[in-house]
Amino acid sequence: MTDERTDRERMRALVKEFHSGMLVTRAPEGTMHARPMALAKLADDDDLFFATSIESGKVSEIEHDHHAAVTFQSTGAYVSISGPARIVTDRAQIRACWSETMKVWFPKGPDDPSLCLLQLRPVHAEYWNTEGIKGLRYVYEAAKAYVKGRQPVVVPGQHGEVDGPAIR
């Protein structure tokens, strides 16, 4: 078992490897809606920021129900983060998150009136990492467990969860 601080650091390191994830919000009629979103910034306090248009459906979905989640996935690494989301229209914060790649969607730059940020404040985060040496150890443990008719032992650092204030 790993301590929460180590899990937080591992989760942050994995998130930094991703450029985009699937953001999930709830539509007013109750259905879940997922869409790919580019990560604009991972703040020091773990808040995630995504650039979006103030006219987009996700903005009205968040205004209706602030609960949201984002998932990130690669071949052997996965992160799931959930918590309240809010819309940020503060130009200073938008400029702090601005990247020239956003100009494709917001040609007027960081002062584009349709540009806003979606801020997700993590309340629960979970990661799975089977890349590199952890992946090799996992394959070894899985093969050993298969032969013995048991479940594999979780390799330290392969899976972790961070909740509530500990994620901050």
Measured between alpha carbons, how far is 109 from 42 in angstroms, rounded to an integer?
20
Element containing residue 80 per DSSP (H, E): strand 77-88
Residues in the chain: 168
Is the Cβ–Cβ distance between 15 and 79 less than 8 Å? yes
Measured between alpha carbons, how far is 2 from 5 in angstroms, rounded to an integer?
8
pTM over 0.95: no
- Token reading at 166: 């500990």
More confident residue, 137 or 101: 101
Cα 69 off chain centre by: 7
Helix, strand, coil percent values for the chain (each to nearest 5): 35, 35, 30
pLDDT for 164: 66
83 vs 30, 110, 130, CA distance in Å?
Answer: 17, 26, 25
Residue tagged 């979606």 (tokens): 118
- Token reading at 76: 């052997």
Average of pLDDT values for 18-24? 97
pLDDT for 133: 47
The residues, any chain, with a CB within 8 Å of residue 104's CB and separated by 6 or more, are none
Mean pLDDT of the chain: 86
pLDDT for 159: 73
